[in-house]
A = this chain, B = another copy of it.
Amino acid sequence: MAVNLSAPSAASLHPVPGVSIGVAEANVRKANRKDLTVFLLEPGASVGGVFTQNRFCAAPVQVCREHLASGDIRALVINTGNANAGTGEDGLVRARQTCIAAARLLNLAPEQVLPFSTGVIMEPLPVDRIEKGLPAAIDDAQPQHWLRAAEGIMTTDTIAKAFSRQVQVDGVTVTVTGISKGAGMIRPNMATMLGFLATDAQVDARLLPALAFELAEGSFNRATVDGDTSTNDSFIVIASNKAKHAKITSLDTPAGQALKGAMLEVARLLAQAIVRDGEGATKFITVRVEGGKTGAECRQVAYAIAHSPLVKTAFFASDPNLGRILAAVGYAGITDLDQTKIDLYLDDVHVAVGGGRNPSYREEDGQRVMKQSEITVRVVLGRGNAADQVWTCDFSHDYVSINADYRS
């Protein structure tokens, strides 16, 4: 059960002019399953992307990087069921075959197609099935198919993830709509498993890489379920450039800020949705670290807390076993940390002061917060003025069950 996350309605998802989406059943791994999704972009769209920093990056990630560099992207092809990762040279060939097949059907060059795969690692991609499924996916393409796409890219997700916002840019209403997927192997480093965000706003193509990076930094790169950075993380930002306002040539203008704000809001909702649907999650936890010397050290401490199996199981049990949080702060790797300056809060409850238990802290107050489904852990390091936060979930029996059974 995802934490405070309900399925999106198709009506809540505004189509993005210039972007059509189609879904088909290609039997990639299992029959009777929508496992192949295509995005078709009208001419003139700009695309930016950020990808996993895992050195074992999947074949489609390598091909995406190449194709994005050559520009003028017109189609995205996404399969579930098989990640085409840990597949060596053969995997690269198969990712390219996917692009060639789609390009032939769409009368494009293969470099104009971006391939994405998610699913089991280290098994050969059944590219013949993808080729056979592509005509049906392309025939299905419609601007209003965002919900179908959100469903089409799910793997262990229990719920589809899609959000949409509209915002005024230069007096013109523009749309931002996005989808994401992912529930395990989630500690995005540059991007999440898969996230796609599109707007019809007009944005200078040269801004797209920086925009994608900044959006990922403020959203997917702050989410972690299990600390496992995937081989396939990909986050793609599309501007179809159909809206009738003056083209945005800088993100620092009022128009640029308005658009970026709306895109960041959707990206955050998508990233948080992945954590809310984290494998076995029963709680959504924000770990905020303040008073650090740098943002990087705040994140270092926040991730140590967010990845501690002991902290995560205590959240699952609603047990205010807060020493486990202090222990994680201590081993986070800040060698000159002064434990006597550290304060800890659970929501509004001041648990530890100066590195020790707050004399006025009462166990029942900690217990009250721990029973909530949304909890903010706040650590104050007392070293400086930097702050940052990450989002995570608890660690339950279901996490073990899901991951012990995923392939079998």
- Of chain B, the residue at the smallest CB distance from A315 is B404
Within 8 Å by CB of A309, from B56, B83, B226, B352, lies: B226
- Of chain B, the residue at the smallest CB distance from A56 is B330
Whether A352 and B86, one on each chain, are in contact in the complex, defined by CB atoms closer than 8 angstroms, is yes
Stretch at the interface among A72-80, A108-116, A227-235, A248-256: A227-235
A308 on the B face (CB < 8 A): yes
Report the bound CA distance from A324 to B321 in whole Å.
31
Whether B404 and A323, one on each chain, are in contact in the complex, defined by CB atoms closer than 8 angstroms, is no
Give chain B residues whose Cβ lies under 8 Å from the Cβ of A354: 88
Whether A185 and B310, one on each chain, are in contact in the complex, defined by CB atoms closer than 8 angstroms, is yes
Taken together, the copies of this chain in the complex come to 2
Report the bound CA distance from A319 to B335 in whole Å.
38
A337 on the B face (CB < 8 A): yes
A29 on the B face (CB < 8 A): no
Give chain B residues whose Cβ lies under 8 Å from the Cβ of A228: 308-310, 324, 327-328, 331
Whether A313 and B121, one on each chain, are in contact in the complex, defined by CB atoms closer than 8 angstroms, is no
A287 on the B face (CB < 8 A): no
A12 on the B face (CB < 8 A): no
Whether B314 and A404, one on each chain, are in contact in the complex, defined by CB atoms closer than 8 angstroms, is yes
Report if A330-B54 is in contact (Cβ < 8 Å); known contacts: A91-B356, A120-B323, A307-B227: yes
Report if A86-B403 is in contact (Cβ < 8 Å); known contacts: A184-B310, A227-B308, A229-B331: no
Residue among A54, A56, A87, A328 with the highest chain B CB neighbour number at 10 A? A56
A317 on the B face (CB < 8 A): yes
Interface size on A, residues (CB 8 A): 72
- Of chain B, the residue at the smallest CB distance from A329 is B56
Whether B405 and A327, one on each chain, are in contact in the complex, defined by CB atoms closer than 8 angstroms, is no
Write out, one digit per residue, whether chain A residues 219-250 have a CB within 8 A of any chain B CB (1) or not (0): 00000001111110000000000000000000
Report the bound CA distance from A399 to B230 in whole Å.
24
Give chain B residues whose Cβ lies under 8 Å from the Cβ of A357: 86-88, 122-124
Report the bound CA distance from A231 to B396 in whole Å.
24
Report if A87-B356 is in contact (Cβ < 8 Å); known contacts: A55-B334, A327-B121: yes
Report the bound CA distance from A107 to B85 in whole Å.
67
A349 on the B face (CB < 8 A): no
Q: How far is the CB of A147 from chain B (nearest CB, A)?
A: 29
Whether B326 and A86, one on each chain, are in contact in the complex, defined by CB atoms closer than 8 angstroms, is yes
Identify which of residues 74-105 in chain A touch chain B, using a CB-to-CB cut-off of 8 Å. 83, 85-91
A207 on the B face (CB < 8 A): no
Known contacts A122-B322, A123-B323, A314-B404; can you find 7 more A-B pairs with CB under 8 A? A55-B339, A56-B355, A121-B324, A121-B326, A185-B327, A319-B407, A400-B400
Interchain Cβ contacts under 8 Å between A and B, 12 examples = A55-B337, A85-B326, A86-B356, A88-B355, A88-B356, A89-B340, A121-B322, A185-B310, A309-B395, A309-B403, A314-B404, A319-B407
Listed from nearest, the 4 A-B pairs whose CB atoms lie closest are A121-B323, A88-B356, A56-B330, A317-B404
Binding site for B on A (CB under 8 A): 53-57, 83, 85-91, 120-124, 184-185, 187, 189, 226-231, 307-310, 313-314, 316-317, 319, 321-324, 326-332, 334-335, 337-340, 342, 352, 354-357, 395-397, 399-401, 403-408
